[in-house]
Structure 1
């Protein structure tokens, strides 16, 4: 067979070979990546530094008055768990203790526009320099962003308790940093 006849034959058969690959069904793959996410935020960010001042008594023989509890801050988080870590916890601690004063924090149940397996808040905590769980059982979830989303935080100051003695108070102006950390269980 000559080269030209062979070329004509191959050109005539090429559409048949191409059509022979088609069937009634076909498929392809879609690659999907879902990243592990563990983010925490205190909102509103513009006013997340709060001031709580004790009030001096106006009558001799009376104690100082604790400030009104502050509930202006919200704890927001986003979490996508992985198979080896089915839940996460948010813990809280102070960078420094204030002598004679207990700083308490309470996280309310999640509220707002979030979705997923939102965590469960613990009871009121007296903050220490050691991490303590404040939200547990967080799965794949998000709380919504900003104030009025997530867990509302209420801070209270107390003296004269089992851990904060009135006798230890000293006149001062001080700051303590509250640190929230989200981690795998």
Structure 2
């Protein structure tokens, strides 16, 4: 009885291997379309990440208020509590941009074996999208911190409304886009790992 089960298991395994090979042979066009889509998505992600990194890198060196000509220090150096926060937000956004660039480049340069489509490429897509989302959010917070620094946190009600409304809309829209795009991939990876 035990020998029959081993033979049956080997037969099922061989049929499964043949089915995977048959699927790979008959659906070659799907593989080519998937490779093209992944490369296009990685290219777009790298482009957006590079633009966000450029903005944050510029924000780190072109401090709001410029530099004092005599002391060569930033004009807002006296606001010691606000300036490090600006640098922290900008540096965090740069960190996430580098993460996006790394995972997108890794996905773009992949050799695309069929096995990678089940786990590694969706994982790279999820990490790249998540780090791009975080870099966008930290870029918005860098903008708000720069605005607070430049205006000395003195807003009229209308100015505060004009600053907060676009900021809130940007953060909410980023959240909706992130959930819409990344949730199916996240759910797939969780199902793959735990079920």
Q: Tell me the TM-score range normalised by the shorter chain.
A: under 0.3
If each structure's strand is expressed as a fraction of its own residues, which one has the higher value?
Answer: 1
- Pick 1 or 2: higher relative contact order, CA cutoff 8 A, min separation 6: 1
If each structure's helix is expressed as a fraction of its own residues, which one has the higher value?
Answer: 2
Q: TM-score, normalised by structure 1?
A: 0.26
